[in-house]
Amino acid sequence: MNELSLSLSCPVPLPAGDRILLAHGGGGRLMHQLLEMVFLPAFANAPLEARHDGAVVTVNGVRLAFTTDSYVVRPLVFPGGNIGDLAVNGTVNDLAMCGARPLYLSAGFILEEGLAMETLRLVTASMRAAAERAGVALVTGDTKVVDQGKGDGIFINTAGIGLVECAGEIGPAAVRPGDAVLLSGDLGAHGVAVLSVREGLEFESPIVSDTAPLWEPVEAMLKAGIEIHCLRDLTRGGLASALNEIADVRRLAIRIEEAAVPVEEAVKGACEILGLDPLYVANEGRFVAFVPEAQAEAALAALGRRAVRIGTVLDDPSAVVILHSRIGGHRVLDLLSGEQLPRIC
C-alpha cells in the first residue's frame, strides 16, 4: 500500500509551541498561559488585571459589570439543553459573579452554511426561554455565515451588562486567609451530559446538564447581608481550575475536603467508567463563594440546602490548592495542562 516515510529531518518541523492547540481552550494551564502571554500584555488595564470573570467599570458614578463569552460546544444539543442555554446562562452568570444584576445581552451568531433551520430555531427558542428565566433581555445581535466546514454548526458570542448591587469589590483580591469556601451544588453534570452523547464514548444515563442562571442565589446572599469576597462560576476545567485561578491571583493556598464535595451517583458512575476526576469536569450552573468564616453558616442558609462548605482559605502564600482526601491523605490539585481526557489506565 502507501509507503510512508517518516523522515525525522522533515522540512519545517512544527514545534508544539507555535500553534494553537485545542488544549488552549480547555480552561487549564495552557489557556491560562495564553491569557498571560498573549492577551493580557496586549490590552493591559485595571479591570483586566483583576482577572475576574467580568469587568466592573464605573460610568457617571454608577458601577456596571460588563462581560463576554463565546460558545463552541459540540454537540450543539445535549441532554438538558443546547448551546443556546449555555450562551445565555454563561454570560448571565459571569455578571452575577461580579455581584451584578444581569440586565441586557447581545448575541453574535456565526452560522455554518448547511446548518438545519430547525436547529437554529431550537437554539433561538432556548435562548429566549433562558433569557426570560434569568430576567434579561436580548437587545442586540449580529449574524454571519461561514462556508461549510469552517464552523461547528453554530458559534455564539454573547456579551452582557449588569448593575452592580454589592457594596464592596467582589473578586480574588478581596479573598482573606480564613475565608470559608462554599459550593452551590453537586459537580460534573454538564460535562458528563455532553460526553454521554459524544461519538466513541456514548452511554445511557439520566444525567442532564446543570445549565442554570445564578443571579438568584447571589442576590439571596446579598440580601442576607453577606460580605461576599469572591464568586466564581465553574465552567471548563471544573472546580479544581476555578480554585487554582483564584489561589494563583490572590497568592493564597486553599484547602478542600474531598468528603464534603457533592457528586451525584450517576455522575460518579460515568466518571469512574471514563477515568475522569469530577473535580475537573465542566459545570454550567454551579459556583463557589468565598465569604468570611463568621458568615459561612448564614451564607449557606441563604444559598439553600444544596449548598455546602467545602473548604477554607489558608494563610499560606504557596497558592496551592490542597485536597484532604477521603481516606485522610493529601493531594495537590493542580491546573491540568489542557482538557481532561478519558483514560483506561
Partner 1 sequence: MCLAVPGKIVNLLDDSDPALRRATVDFAGVRKEVSLAFTPEAAAGDYVLVHVGFALSVVDEAEAEKIFEYLREMQELEDAGESPP
Partner 2 sequence: MKFIDEYRDREAAARLAQAIRRLVRRPWTIMEVCGGQTHTILKSGLEELLPPEITLVHGPGCPVCVTPVELIDKAVAIASEPSVVFCSFGDMLRVPGSTHSLFDAKAAGADVRIVYSPLDALKLARANPRREVVFFAVGFETTAPANAMAVWQAAREGLANFSVLVAHVLVPPAMAVILNSADCRVQAFLAPGHVCTVMGYEEYESLAARYRVPIVVTGFEPLDLLEGLRMAIAQLESGRAEVENQYSRSVRRQGNRAARQRIAEVFEVSSRRWRGIGEIPSSGLRLREPYRRFDAETRFALRALEAADSTDCIAGLVLQGLRRPPECPVFATRCTPERPLGAPMVSSEGACAAYYLYRHYERA
> Could you list the residues that contact partner 2 (CB under 8 A)?
1-6, 8, 13-17, 19-23, 29-30, 33, 199-201, 259, 265, 268-269, 272-275, 277, 318-320, 322, 325-332, 334, 337-338, 341-345
Q: Which does 23 bind (CB under 5 to 8 A by kind): partner 1, partner 2, none?
A: partner 2
What does DSSP assign to residue 60?
A: T
Q: Which does 205 bind (CB under 5 to 8 A by kind): partner 1, partner 2, none?
A: partner 1
What per-residue string of b and e applies to 124-140 under the rule 16 or more CB within 10 Å gives b?
A: eebbeebbeebebebee
Give me the amino acid identity at 107.
A
Does residue 326 belong to the site contacting partner 1 (CB under 8 A)? no
Q: Which does 270 bind (CB under 5 to 8 A by kind): partner 2, partner 1, none?
A: partner 1
Which residues lie across from 68 on neighbouring strands? 159
In terms of CB distance, is 168 or 342 closer to partner 2?
A: 342
| CB neighbour class for 37 (10 Å; exposed up to 12, middle 13-18, buried from 19) | exposed
Does residue 199 belong to the site contacting partner 1 (CB under 8 A)? no
Only one of the segments 73-81, 113-121, 196-204, 285-293 lies at the binding site for partner 1 (rule: CB under 8 A); that segment is: 196-204
In terms of CB distance, is 132 or 272 closer to partner 1?
A: 272
In terms of CB distance, is 114 or 342 closer to partner 2?
A: 342
- CA distance readout (Å), 121 to 114, 126, 159, 251, 329: 14, 9, 21, 46, 51
By rule CB under 8 A, what string of x and - marks binding of each residue 253-282 to partner 1? ------------xx-xxx-xx-x-------
End-to-end CA separation in angstroms for the chain: 33
In terms of CB distance, is 22 or 344 closer to partner 1?
A: 344
Does residue 327 belong to the site contacting partner 1 (CB under 8 A)? no
CB of 323 to partner 2, least distance (A): 8
Q: What is the gyration radius of the CA atoms in the chain, in angstroms?
A: 21
Q: Which does 21 bind (CB under 5 to 8 A by kind): partner 2, partner 1, none?
A: partner 2
In terms of CB distance, is 156 or 322 closer to partner 2?
A: 322
- Residues contacting residue 272 through CB under 8 Å, at least 6 positions apart: none
CA separation for the pair 124, 37 (Å, rounded): 36
Size of the site for partner 1 (CB under 8 A): 17
- Residues contacting residue 42 through CB under 8 Å, at least 6 positions apart: none
Does residue 205 belong to the site contacting partner 1 (CB under 8 A)? yes
Q: Which does 331 bind (CB under 5 to 8 A by kind): partner 2, partner 1, none?
A: partner 2
CB of 189 to partner 2, least distance (A): 17
CA separation for the pair 51, 167 (Å, rounded): 20
Sheet containing 154-164: order of strands: 55-59, 62-71, 154-164, 100-112, 137-146
By rule CB under 8 A, what string of x and - marks binding of each residue 156-195 to partner 1? ----------------------------------------
Asked if residue 97 lies in contact with residue 54, where contact means CB atoms within 8 angstroms, the answer is yes
- CA distance readout (Å), 117 to 111, 120, 123, 151: 10, 5, 10, 16
CB of 328 to partner 2, least distance (A): 6
Does residue 345 belong to the site contacting partner 1 (CB under 8 A)? yes
Q: Which does 322 bind (CB under 5 to 8 A by kind): partner 1, partner 2, none?
A: partner 2
| CB neighbour class for 87 (10 Å; exposed up to 12, middle 13-18, buried from 19) | buried
Which residues of the chain form contacts with partner 1 (CB under 8 A)?
Answer: 196, 203-207, 265-266, 268-270, 272-273, 275, 343-345
